[in-house]
Structure 1
Amino acid sequence: MAEFVDRNRQSLSMLSAVLLSLVPWMQVSRSRPLLLTVKPAVFATAVGMATLLHFLLLAFNIISVKSLSVVSGGDKSIFSKNENARAVIIVSSQKTLPVLVAVVEQLHGALGEPGLLVLPCVAAHIIQIIIDSFIVNLWLRKDQMSAATKEF
């Protein structure tokens, strides 16, 4: 079995992503008629709040990682290395879509139709990915510029 997984790691990873994406798809599909009644301004507000939340989590986690670095040994801390600190910041700031869908499912409609509640969750997840890809790109450029200046 281990050999099969090793040989098909990329295909299994893609299959996992597809299966995970089906969970919110099913929720949204069940509420299609209600989705058409959502006002764009309300949806935009939910997306804006999700964006703000992600930036707040990023800021909180940057401060937390810096603090952990200081109290756990300064320059010798595992958090003082950029690659470690950056990984912790990004991963701890993201909220995954399957978790969001699971929370909505556990509410059993207490806050509204689950399919409607999942829609801003999907948008928030996509926004997180976009924001974080820009941040990682900025970090890569910064590292490349630092490496280029060290060469001279």
Structure 2
Amino acid sequence: MNPTVETADAPSEYRVAKILGVAKLLKGSVGSAVAVHEALHAGLPRRALFRAIPAGIPVPRLLPVFGISIRTFMRLKTDPGKLLDAEQSGRVWQFAELFAKAEDVFRSRARAVDWMLEPAMALENRRPIDLLTTPVGAQLVDDVIERMRHGVYQ
């Protein structure tokens, strides 16, 4: 797969890696889910966490998504070059990927932010951001985004 080309259906690994500022970590293996897994397992640089936070979403709303407390967040800010652990890296990647998909569907970062923060009927009036704290909730959000991408609204 050409790393500069994204499919119409989903943001490429390359795009998510660029959002997080870690494209170089994939060492030319962009498009390979195994390369992404290995990078996440080794740990992303802490700066990826800060790059994943879109303007308009309050940091306290995102910390549960990343599985970290405010104290840990403040500690991570002190040395953004160090690595996140594998679990934190996976959560940051997952959020960046889902947010990129929402941005694609809404064709606007601001509208994607609004959607993440507002109750969604398709999610039983839960806010998408609040469901991103578990794998099942993240899958629910991804499913709704995919349905919207294909024109199926609830």
**TM-score normalised to structure 1 length:** 0.27
Greater relative CO, 1 or 2 (CA 8 Å, sep 6+) = 1
Structure (1/2) with the larger helix percentage:
1
**TM-score normalised to structure 2 length:** 0.27
Structure with larger Rg? 1
